[in-house]
Chains A and B, each alone.
Chain A
Amino acid sequence: MKQKVDDARDKIVDAVLDSEEALESFRLTYLSRNGLFSTLFEEFKALPGPEKKEVGKPLNVLKVQAEQKYAEAKERLEDAKEAERTATDDITLPVEPSLLGSMHPLTLVRHEMTQLFMRMGFTVADGPEIEDDFHNFTALNFPADHPARDMQDTFFVRKGEDEDHRSDDLVLRTHTSPVQIRLMKDKKPPIRAIMPGRVFRNEAVTYKSYFQFSQVEGLVVDTSITMADLIHTLVTFAKMMYGDHIEYRVRSSYFPFTEPSIEMDVRTTSDAPWMEILGAGMVDPNVLRAVDVDPDTYSGFAFGMGIDRICMLKYGFSDIRTLYENDLRMLSQFEHIGGVR
């Protein structure tokens, strides 16, 4: 018996387990139910006591040794197999990235601007793109037949299908200011809101003008709102939008719905040309009266800026038409910009 164990040990030690076949053969020969160890343990059971004592320990050690050898060899073979790569395991095979989706650059800029104003406590208001004369003009202190209406080339829309009812004509809103009127009619001050949205001007399509574009306007009405508050708000916005280092200047301007009216220019360095970024002013008393807000108690400021223009500056578009062309190769350049929600 001892001799059998010794012989087995020699064979086990010498066994070369370098293939699946050799490994399986080893398992069948020694470790399986009909393998050598089963046989030896059967014989061991039949041995008399003293001999049992002599053989027992080496036999157990040998079995553990065989099992270890088998396990190690199996692990080694599986490692080797895993390291072998097929043609479709080739990581260098080219693939297209998964579809990521993207927001339109105008949406990105509108969202960025909206976020900045929300941080300054503004809410967001909304209204229709087809408007009536009252909301788009009259309530905003554009008298009928006034040259100021020429500032905004207007698309007209007939209210009914009846060709004769021209006096009921509607317009495509030329600015988002009508939303200010709706807001002030709905709600008494304090008001602190922005109104982003699409607007229309009857202008020929060129590299710098398009018949539609987007605006963000803002309105603040409360007791004791001043021009100083307005400029402070605009400068705070401009610094967040364009960087802390920008220079700005405020100049007098004219809009029918504000008095006094201003425009603001910014530039990034003192030798760069000024870029006009917005128009603004103190809400004209006539506008406040048109929505039943007492101008002797309340004052307010309003501002408006073009999203398209800011978008073009920010992303380096030189032709506004590109924004509405929706060439997917252009739009795909914005898919790495995340964080819109």
Chain B
Amino acid sequence: MNVSLNWIKELVGEHASSLPDVDVIADTLTRIGHEVEEIRQTSPLPDSVIIGEVLETEKHPDADRLKVCKVRISKDEISTIICGAPNVAAGQFVPVATPGSVLPIKDKEGKPLSIKTSKIRGIESNGMICAMDELALGEDHDGIMVLNDEVSSSDVGRPFSEACSIVADTILEVSLTPNRPDAASHRGVARDLCAALGLPTKWSFPSANSSRPDNLWASNNTQSSNKGHVKISLPDEQCPRYVARWVHGVTIGPSPLHVRQRLESLGLRSVNNVVDATNWVLHEMGHPTHAFDAGSFSSGTLTVQRFDKEVDFTTLDHIERSCPAGTLFICDGDKPVAIAGVMGGLDSEVSDETTDILLESAFFAPSSIRKTSKTLGLQTDASYRYERGADPLACLEAAQRVVELIHDWAGGEVSGEIADVFHSDGLEPSAIPFDCSLTTRILGHEIESTAQFEALKSLGCNVDESTSNNSSTIASVTPPSFRPDLSRPIDLVEEVGRLWDYNRLPEPTVQQAFVPQPIPARESYLMGCASACMRLGYREIQSNSLIPKDEAHQAIEPSKVIHTLNPVSTEATSLRPTLAIGGLAVFQRNRNRGVHAARCFEIGHVYRRTDGQGTWHQGIDERTHLWMGVTGPIHEGDWAISEKSYRFDHLKRDLLSVLKVALGSTVDTQNITFVTNTSNPLQSDIQAHGQSIGTFTELGRKERKALDLDSPTFMVEVDLDRCFDVWTQAEPTRAKEVSKYPSIDYDFALVVASDVAAGTLEAIIRDTGSERLQRIQCFDVYEGDQIAKNTKSLAFRCTFLDSTKTLTFNEVEDEIKLILNSLKDKASAELRT
């Protein structure tokens, strides 16, 4: 919200001179919860922009659209000025920028526009007659400003800003929190500012004092009103109060210049003198009002009601809206004329022909307005305030203020009749029993009860200390009607605290003793897995949790994919069911930027629908996965490294190392097996002790082509939640004694049929070998002319070790014989000779 410092000063009134300078004001507002995000000055106008009187105009001899004007610029000085505006005419009083003036707008080169005497098509022009935008007073550039309503001939030659009360202002851009509808006005900001600075607060408005009745709540419950020849009845509980006022015989036109200037400087659009009056009061005291063209009412009855069916209604922004059943309307009889608390209708809008005004100043139930505003997707200045909670007691005062301004700016006669229908039940703020010691308990510092009570009073609370019997720290506090956010003692603690200033809280003298709690194993476990990847030279990436729908559908069974109901874009519609999609997208993006080599990992959540129990919520599996992927050259153009691109075994090696960390000591590398997917030879299931923990994938030709990846690409995705379950069963690490005796290696080469998997042979060797068999390596693989067709040769090295003695070669040979027999029996493996 934009806040005018001039306006604040006017509202603070006689104490305005005690206000500190703007930086301190901004800091104070920020400190008490109204963060000032920007401070800017409106552009001051130089005194060389003066009032001129157009005496005569004639067409420029050499230019159809230009006029040569004789303009009186002082008592006895007449200038010739060329003007292109279509509306310039003799008899007008106009702003004239005399030569030498520097205007607060930019020229074509971006510098402040400087006015010089110059010849325009052969005729000398001594200055410029200004349009509104040229003086930075608005956007209007349709014609020059005509000031006949503002000034008279005695003002000719006076500085324009002085004659028209145009004053430079400072605008504070304030970020409002949603709990403070009362602060969405200059009065609200001024009130909090004065409370924080310890200045007396001025509550009322220059001319509205008299309209503030003494008894604000009780006995005001009325069912209907018959004032102003209109019967107003309120059958609807969502409109507890409806005040109507009338102004007859108004002349619709532009508002006075200083009004337009102030509204413009706050970023508001000036409409006309009546609508501007309602806007003025909205920003002055925060209460929304609405001016109807009273002449458009025909039934003599005004009702506030809801309909059982959808209603098509054209709002004054010329948009026809389908309002769902239950939308609250203001109606002329049964004909809707405004969406209550949101926006008026086009048919009852104040137009240039309007002469009689019906002014509404109402209070609507916040939830009703919020619902309507949300379903219509229409937030207005009025709905913003109503849905957060307006002040039901402000209705009369706001109406009085608006009709006075209408009278001042648009003439007419204010009717003395005031319709006020008010169901005040349940609206009156309840008294809050408040014990000042709560403040001490919450803030950790004792603030004297008198200071606490003073702070609450300065915010408009009624503090009744008589309820306390023997302690002066207990009071009954009734918040003002404009503070719907105050209902509990803790709310009052915040009010005291923010005015007192949290920055003044002393450091705790006694540090709370705490017993550090153990860090959950999972936290260090995940970090350990990430570190393992990093130790192997992998780079961590963080990809999007939300991915395109079609990619998610390609990855898994579409019915398992979870979509957001309100995606931010087509690129981010669905929750990732695997990390692979994001990882491969990173490969592709880097490849397209010329980075071919990639070796990456990611740890993150993946999400799928499940028929089962789900991890956290019924039907939804949310798990933590680890993805590792490699592509491109290993070391591009290196003179010494002969392996130019990745093979599956590079990633398999790295995976086995990472799994040492991820599975802990419970699973030996030898117990991790890879089971090839029968339908897709490029994909294998990774199993630990026979339990599936992930997938190993080589990207096929077509997949790589689609991703622009021209090198072999491999990836694994591991379910870390499953691994963690295994990991937690591990025994604590204990140092095991190592054997003092040497080991013996035994090499042999086998010939087997081509379709026998190496893993099968390895498993046979392991199962047959005794516990002395420490390690099995495959050191050579051969297919070719030197052996029979459809066979292959694998060379194994078995390492034997005994922890109690030095092994003899004979003992090892005995074991090898058993192993070779077993290989022959189970896999028809022959010793290669």
Contacts and interface: CB of A to CB of B under 8 A. Distances in A.
Contacts of A130: 562, 575, 607, 616-617, 620, 622
A193 B517 contact: yes
A103 B530 contact: yes
Nearest to B502: A250
A332 interface: yes
Contacts of A98: 537
A80 interface: no
Interface stretch (B135-143, B261-269, B442-450, B464-472): B442-450
A331 B539 contact: yes
B444 A229 contact: yes
A326 B497 CA distance: 45
A101 B534 contact: yes
B595 to A, nearest CB: 5
B493 A260 contact: yes
Contacts of B598: 328
B30 A229 contact: no
A337 to B, nearest CB: 11
A170 B617 contact: yes
Nearest to B490: A259
B443 A341 contact: no
B441 A224 contact: yes
Nearest to B560: A161
Contact of A261 (B445, B494, B530): B494
Interface string A239-277: 000000000011111100001111100000000000000
Contacts of A21: none
Interface string A58-100: 0000000000000000000000000000001000010110111
A202 B180 CA distance: 24
Contacts of B569: 205
B615 interface: yes
B543 interface: yes
| Closest 5 pairs (CB-CB, A-B) | A226-B444, A99-B537, A228-B444, A252-B33, A254-B177
Nearest to B586: A326
A160 B367 contact: no
Contacts of B619: 159-160
A145 B497 contact: no
A249 B505 CA distance: 12
A106 interface: yes
Nearest to B574: A157
Given A251-B33, A341-B531, 4 more contacts: A101-B599, A155-B564, A192-B517, A231-B505
A103 B490 contact: no
Contacts of A228: 443-445, 505-508
A111 B488 CA distance: 39
Interface residues of B, number: 95
A331 B497 contact: no
A10 interface: no
Nearest to A129: B605
Contacts of A128: 605, 615-617, 622
A322 to B, nearest CB: 11
23 contacts: A93-B639, A96-B638, A101-B534, A103-B540, A114-B523, A118-B519, A121-B516, A123-B520, A128-B605, A128-B622, A129-B607, A157-B575, A159-B620, A160-B619, A211-B572, A224-B441, A227-B444, A228-B445, A231-B502, A260-B502, A282-B442, A326-B543, A328-B600
Interface of A: 88, 93, 95-96, 98-104, 106-107, 111, 114, 118, 121, 123-130, 132, 145, 147-148, 150-151, 155-161, 169-170, 172, 190, 192-193, 198, 200, 202-205, 211-212, 222, 224-229, 231-232, 249-254, 259-263, 282, 284-285, 299, 323-329, 331-332, 335, 340-341
Contacts of B530: 103, 107, 340
A95 to B, nearest CB: 7
Given A130-B562, A156-B566, A200-B545, A254 B520 contact: no
A331 B543 CA distance: 13
Contacts of B539: 101-102, 328, 331-332, 335
Contact of A107 (B542, B545, B546): B542
A260 B177 CA distance: 13
B178 interface: yes
A118 B563 CA distance: 36
B44 interface: no
Contact of A203 (B507, B544, B568): B568
Given A107-B542, A227-B497, A229-B508, A254 B502 contact: no
A106 B542 contact: yes
A129 B502 contact: no
Nearest to A282: B442
A147 B541 contact: no
A284 B590 contact: no
Nearest to A331: B539
A100 B618 CA distance: 42
Contact of A151 (B178, B488, B491, B604): B178
Interface in B187-230: none
B706 interface: no
A102 B534 contact: yes
Given A103-B530, A254-B180, A161 B33 contact: no
Contacts of A284: 490
Contacts of B512: 222, 224-225, 229
A327 B539 CA distance: 11
B595 A328 contact: yes
Contact of A123 (B519, B543, B595): B519
A25 to B, nearest CB: 39
Interface in B582-618: 586, 589-590, 593, 595, 598-600, 604-605, 607, 609, 615-618
A325 B505 CA distance: 43
B616 A326 contact: no
Contacts of B600: 326, 328
Contacts of A160: 619
